[in-house]
Amino acid sequence: MGCKPPMIHRDIKSTNILLGKNFQAKLGDFGLSRSFPVGNETHVSTNVAGSPGYLDPEYYRTNWLTVKSDVFSFGVVLQEIISSQPVIDPYALTNGDIKNIVDPSLIGDYDSSSMWKALELAMSRVSASSSGRPKMSQVANELQKCLLSENSRKEGRHDVDSKSSVALSTSFGTKHNPDAR
């Protein structure tokens, strides 16, 4: 997965994600993209570019673009997808109130463990420090598990490991441990 050399998009946001056939997501607008050197480099120094609200705060403060800068932006987009809102209410999150976080048009038609897992992933991505964020490959793997769990629920199967969401909380070290499942 990925490209060589790695590319940092620098402007991942909802309006730059296009939907193709069968709602297949495609990333657009690579005008601000930068290639990332292959080797031991941890960052590239560059002028800050991107959209407010989606911009990695560490990159904004330091002008250091890292491979995890886009991870922050994707976390914001994932929160928007889950909640159908620009910002998630932190009070609802700390109280484990998933019904007031998730897009109300879903009317509870989702696997709550999978939804919590996706929400925990989104929250782990918006850590102010890049060292506190998972790698995008981890994000992709965990989202695949969420999708598998949801598809199993819809098909009436219960063969997905329900303990995986608890393991996710501890592996990403999130401070937000959901109560309601």
Query: Could you give the residue numbers annotated as active site?
Result: 11
DSSP, collapsed to helix, strand or coil, labels residue 57 as helix
Distance CA 76, CA 17 (A): 13
Cα dihedral across residues 61, 27, 78, 118: positive or negative: negative
Cα dihedral across residues 23, 24, 29, 34: positive or negative: positive
Distance CA 88, CA 100 (A): 9
Query: What's the start-to-end Cα distance of the chain, in Å?
Result: 32
Instruction: Yes or no: say if 9 and 33 are a contact pair by the CB < 8 Å rule.
Output: yes
> Which residues make beta-bridge pairs with 19?
25
Please give the single-letter amino acid code of residue 31.
Answer: G
